[in-house]
Amino acid sequence: MKTHTVKSDYSFDETLQRLSNAFESKGMQIFAKIDHQQAATKAGLSMQPATVIVFGNPKAGTPLMQKDPTFALQLPLKVLVTQVNGEVLVSFYDTKAMVDGTKIDFSEVQNTLANVEGLIKKVVQE
């Protein structure tokens, strides 16, 4: 699936906090934060900082999953914050690619899911 990656203007921890705050301020729920670096450490391995925030809004997602139950594989939304060579990078799925091949038309998500792409970029680059 196609992804977008943008460089954050903030530290790793601040990027995570800014994204979390932005999602919650827009009425989205954070379902989980998956700390891959911590899991690697527990397994006796090392890796760069990498945390996935799993988030969404059931009011927006439920009608989409009712229309196409397989869309539940795409939801909730996810954003990866990682640090590579000193740069904090934020990656997320392309909304058009998410709906491609489903019973959901892009016009049904352009004012909801698609707005998350812009929100993420704004939060980490302003």
For residue 88, which phi and psi values (nearest 5 degrees)?
Answer: -90, 120
- What does the angle CA 22 – CA 28 – CA 30 come to, to the nearest 5 degrees? 85
Beta strand 29-35 pairing with 3-7: unpaired
> Which pTM does this prediction carry?
0.95
What digits encode the pLDDT tens for the residues 40-74? 999 999 999 999 999 999 999 999 999 999 999 99
Nearest to 12 by CA among 46, 39, 50: 50
Domain spanning 3-125, CATH class = alpha beta
Does 117 score more than 90 pLDDT?
Answer: yes
d(CA 72, CA 78): 13
In the prediction, which pLDDT does 1 show? Answer: 83
- Provide the token pair at 38: 């911590």
Domain ranges (residues) in the chain: 3-125
